[in-house]
Amino acid sequence: MNNAVNRIIDANFNRAREALRVLEDYARFNLNDSSISLYAKSLRHDLCAAVGQLPACDLLTARDTPADVGTQLSTEQELTRPDPLAVAAAAAKRLPEALRCLEEYTKIDNPSIAKDLEAIRYRAYTLEKQLLTRAHRKHRFQNVQIYVLLTSKLCKYNILDTTTQILAGGADCIQLREKDIPDSELIPLAAKICDLCHRAGALFIVNDRPDIAILTNADGVHLGQDDMTVNQARKLLSPHKLAGKSTHSLDEVNRALAESPDYLAVGSIFPSPTKPSVTPSGLQLIENTRYMYPGPLIAIGGITPQNAHQTIKAGASGIAVCSAVIAAENPKTALTVLKNALSDPNRTAHI
| Same domain, yes or no: 221 and 262 | yes
H, E, C per residue of 296-325: CEEEECCCCCCCHHHHHHHCCCEEEECHHH
User: Is a pLDDT exceeding 60 seen at residue 351?
Assistant: no
Burial 298-334 (b: 16+ CB within 10 A, else e): bbbbbbebebbbbbbebbbbbbbbbbbbbbbebbbbb
| Same domain, yes or no: 222 and 294 | yes
> How many domains does one find in the chain?
2
The per-residue pLDDT for range 187-223, each reduced to its tens digit, is 999 999 999 999 999 999 999 999 999 999 999 999 9
User: Is a pLDDT exceeding 90 seen at residue 342?
Assistant: no
Range of the domain at 248: 144-343
| Same domain, yes or no: 72 and 159 | no
H or E stretch including 131?
A: helix 111-141
Q: What is the DSSP letter of 171?
A: -
Final residue in a domain of this structure, among 139, 155, 185: 139
Cα 223 to chain centroid, rounded: 15
How wide is the angle at C-alpha 5 spanned by C-alphas 4 and 8, nearest 5°?
90
d(CA 319, CA 298): 5
d(CA 81, CA 90): 9
Mean pLDDT value across the chain: 91
Q: What percent of the chain has pLDDT over 90?
A: 73
Task: Please report whether residue 348 resides in a domain.
Answer: no
The per-residue pLDDT for range 65-114, each reduced to its tens digit, is 777 777 666 666 666 788 898 999 999 999 999 999 999 999 999 999 99
Q: Give the model's pLDDT for residue 348.
A: 47
